[in-house]
Structure 1
Amino acid sequence: MRPIWKGMLSFGLVNVPVALYPATKKKTISFNQLRKSDYSRINYKKVGTDGAEVRTDEIVKGYQISPDRYVIIEDSDINAITPAASRVIEINDFVKLDQIDPRHYDASYYLVPETGAGKAYALLLQAMGEANVVGIAKFVLRSKEYLAAIRPAEGALTLSTMLFADEIVPAAALETYLPGDIKLSDKELNMARQLIASLITNFEPEKYENEYYKAVTKLIDSKAETAIGTKQAEPPGKVIDIMAALEASIAAIKAQEKSKRKKKTG
């Protein structure tokens, strides 16, 4: 596995050379669309409202501000405000884990020490674990700035990219769909509490499996022997010079006629 980022993990005056690796691998199955008559792949074209195909070099970025009005954004505009590439993940704050709303978490990664950084890495790992804290940092990955939470897990430092506060939809936005002032009886509450108490256990993620993924892979395996070969489009041949081809054809015909005459007179 190759790292997707290399740089420094910084807290105070301590800098730890680290590499960033993905900590998750989503299991999804995607299907291609094929034409039913010959099972050839379906291709998509970019077309304008007039139905004409649009070349890549004719496409610009536009942000819609009203039904028929767009602000045109050039690549140079984006480049001017893109954050500069950074090789430092600087921890600005340490907070308690239970203070972070899980809705903020996005993608997860591992921070792995580079050669010679083991001691500094182990120091931060153990100290954070004993304090039960999460480091909050900002860093740039692939020209985008991220908020991140860094915390110990299974003997390694993990980094979770986070959603910013204004990206979280508050429950109040759905208040019209939520139950209002509903009166609950003591009997109902006691029954619910008993049911919940009977189901409380330790979280064991390995016991929860993606049943749909397993079913789809089993279905694909069962049909593997009857897989259909798709019909591929013929590759474009060598460009032919029409005049040269005509001249060659005429010359061949003349040569054949000349050969016939020789046979007759021979």
Structure 2
Amino acid sequence: MARPVWAGNLSFGLVSLPVGLYTATDSHTIRFHQLQRGTADRIRNRRVNERTGEEVDSSDIVKGYDAGGEYVLVEPKELDEIAPGRSQALEIAGFVDLDEVEPIFFDRTYYLGPRGKGYEKVYSLLEQALAKTGKAGIATFVMRQREYLVAVKAEDGLLTVHTLHWADEIRNPKDEIDGLPERTKGTAEEVRMAEQLIEALAMKWDPEQFHDTFQEKVAALIEAKQAGETVEKAEPAAEPTGAVDLMEALRASVERARSPKATGERATTSGRATAKKKPAKKRIRSAPKEDISGLSKADLYKKAAAANVSGRSHMTRDDLVKALSST
């Protein structure tokens, strides 16, 4: 069994129970070591005194706050002493409707479990009450010399803790994004077409249908390099859709989403789990050449889809004409 990353008492009102906080997620990122180019020599990070160049043991390191050229030294134990008891207390200040907490506030998720026998009933009581009311308990606690704002909620028969960003940590998008345009309204036809596209691409949320395809490609790259082989490079990103081509792009997207084979194509989108292999390219029988130079981009895209032209979703109008002419 895993050990809790934090242990203390959860309290709401005058009710209290001992709990442990457990990591709820894992990272499957492939880790690389740093090596000097041309060698197998590892590059390691060391704690070095910048004045003497000598390595310093972690026990000899203290925290220092730069107060305008002069450092104020703080020992780790002093940080614990200024919050007596709080590092072992998770006290719920109140309960809010979960829908009121905007997604941008959520950070990490932990499992919350009871510690010790005789507290299962109190734990279960809080879980059932939160599940029935649809509310979350808002609390603060200290872990590893840092205070956290959290939401305690019921989830599939257990309690979970979601760490939240503090209000002053949320950045104003207008201050962060240069040239953010004023809100412009699309035409009634554009809005209707965009709504149809959303409905055509609607699906049920199933996290099991998604997986990290980039990590799979990294693993494939490593295997290929071990075997002295090369791997296929990813297609370049699609070009931005300009205002002139917006309606054509929307119309073609809706028609593509509604086509019988759209389901198969959508299943192979980046990040989407699928066991299906890519369909083989269809052979197009010879036919009299058609003048397609005057067709719209939307019509060209339809023909490219029918001819199974690879990479068509990233092509400009001129690219589609060239690709279809050579098919």
Band of TM-score, shorter chain: 0.7 to 0.9
1:20 touches 1:111 (CA, 8 Å); kept in 2?
yes
1:42 deviates by: 2.0
Pair 1:197 & 2:199 matched: yes
Q: 1:14 & 1:141 partners in 2: Cα distance?
A: 22
Q: What is the TM-score of this pair, normalised by structure 2?
A: 0.60
Shift of 1:47: 6.6
Specify whether residues 44 and 95 from structure 1 end up closer, same or farther in structure 2 by C-alpha distance, changes over 3 A only.
closer
- The answer to whether the aligner puts 1:3 opposite 2:4 as a matched pair is yes
Q: Do the aligned partners of residues 61 and 14 (structure 1) sit closer, same or farther apart at CA in structure 2, a change above 3 Å counting? A: closer
1:127 equivalent to 2:122? Answer no
> Would you tell me which structure has more strand in proportion to its own residues?
1
SS at match of 2:197: helix
Report the residue type matching 2:209 in the other structure: K
Q: Displacement, 1:119? A: 0.8
Q: What are the within-5 Å matches in structure 2 for residues 132-211 of structure 1?
A: 132-174=134-176, 176-211=178-213
Spell out the pairing of 1:222-241 with structure 2 (5 A cutoff): none
State the partner residue of 1:106. Answer: 107
Letter in 1 for 2:83: P
Note if contact 1:83-1:144 (Cα within 8 Å) is conserved in structure 2: no
Q: What RMSD, in angstroms, separates the aligned Cα atoms of the two structures?
A: 2.7
CA contact (8 A) 2:111 2:159 kept: yes
- Residue identity matched to 1:74: L
Equivalent-residue separation in structure 1 for 2:17 and 2:65 (angstroms): 41
- In 2, the alpha carbon distance for the partners of 1:44 and 1:175 equals 34
Hey, which bits of structure 1, 4+ residues long, moved more than 6 A? 57-60
Superposition pairs for residues 50-129 of structure 1, below 5 Å? 53-56=53-56, 70-76=69-75, 79=78, 83-84=83-84, 86-114=87-115, 115-129=117-131
Matching residue of 1:25: 26
Aligned counterparts of 2:157 and 2:151: Cα–Cα separation in 1: 16
After TM superposition, give the deviation of residue 70 of structure 1 in Å. 3.3
Deviations 1:46-88 (A, max 9, x none): 474x8x62442797755567xxx53413124982575335222
Closer/same/farther in 2, CA of residues 44 and 76 from structure 1, 3 Å limit: closer
Quick one: which amino acid aligns to residue 216 of structure 2? K
CA apart distance, 1:224 = 6.4
- Separation of aligned partners in 2, 1:105 and 1:39: 41
For 2:219, the equivalent position in structure 1 comes to 217
| Distance change (3 Å), C-alpha of 1:98 and 1:167 | same
Q: For the structure 1 residues 112 and 221, does the alpha-carbon distance in structure 2 shift closer, same or farther, using more than 3 Å as the test?
A: farther
One-letter amino acid of the structure 2 residue matched with residue 162 of structure 1: L
* Alpha-carbon distance change, 163 to 222 in structure 1, aligned in 2, over 3 angstroms: same
Higher relative contact order (CA 8 A, sep 6+): 1
Instruction: Report deviation, 1:10.
Output: 0.7
Amino acid at match of 2:173: A
Question: TM-score when scaled to structure 1?
Answer: 0.73
CA distance 1:89–1:181, shift in 2 (3 Å): closer
Do the aligned partners of 2:62 and 2:75 also contact (CA within 8 Å) in 1? no
**C-alpha offsets along residues 210-265 of structure 1, whole Å, 9 cap, x if unaligned?**
00112223444566689xxxxxxxxxxxxxxxxxxxxxxxxxxxxxxxxxxxxxxx
Name the CA shift for 1:64/1:142 in 2 (closer, same or farther; >3 Å).
closer
Q: 8 Å contact 1:82–1:143 — kept in the other structure?
A: no
- 1:43 and 1:174 map into 2 onto residues whose CA distance is 35
Larger radius of gyration: 1
Deviates more, 1:177-186 or 1:10-19: 177-186
Higher mean alpha-carbon deviation, 54-63 vs 17-26, is at: 54-63
Given that 1:61 and 1:72 are in contact with CA atoms closer than 8 Å, whether structure 2 keeps it comes out as no
Identity rate, percent: 38
Alignment partner, residue 321 of structure 2: none
Residue aligning to 1:235: none
Closer, same or farther: CA 197–82 of 1 in aligned 2, 3 Å? farther
Determine helix, strand or coil for the equivalent of 1:143: coil
CA distance in 1, matches of 2:33, 2:194: 46
